[in-house]
């Protein structure tokens, strides 16, 4: 999976948490949208954990790029921009799930684990 968030602390926390699970491998990280698009093209991850508010390209633009390039990766949006408009737009752009970093952290991990290969 690829972790995309402009916060080093969030990326470190997610990487530590998800890397401890044997069914997952964090293959890369990106701190802004341009870096994310580049990493998705180079690494071809199965899963992208994506923030919305980032420099250079925001998460909506990254989702649009994934669609335009017909990438097969699943995307879980994990963002503090969690109003209904943002949530609906992300789902319309192809995100598999959308979680609020502040209030839905406990729901996030089970959703990620449900996507693990059986």
Is the C-alpha dihedral spanning 57, 74, 91, 112 positive or negative?
Answer: negative
Domains and CATH numbers, the chain: 2-114 (3.40.50.2300)
Q: pTM score > 0.75 for this model?
A: yes
**Residue 12 DSSP class:** H
Instruction: Report how far apart, in Å, the C-alpha atoms of 14 and of each of 4, 65, 72 are.
Output: 10, 23, 22
What is residue 74's three-state secondary structure? strand
Percent of the chain with pLDDT over 90: 68
pLDDT, tens only, 43-78: 999 999 999 999 999 999 999 999 888 878 999 999
């Amino acid at each position: 999976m690829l972790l995309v968030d402009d916060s080093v602390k969030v990326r470190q926390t997610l990487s530590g948490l998800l890397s401890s699970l044997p069914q997952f491998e964090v293959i890369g990280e990106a701190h802004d949208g341009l870096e994310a698009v580049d990493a998705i093209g180079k690494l071809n991850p199965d899963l992208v954990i994506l923030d919305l508010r980032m420099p250079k390209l925001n998460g909506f633009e990254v989702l649009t790029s994934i669609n335009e390039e017909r990438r097969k990766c699943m995307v879980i949006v994990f963002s503090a921009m969690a109003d209904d408009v943002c949530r609906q737009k992300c789902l319309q752009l192809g995100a598999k799930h959308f979680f609020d970093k502040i209030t839905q952290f406990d729901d996030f991990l089970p959703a990620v684990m449900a996507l693990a290969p059986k």
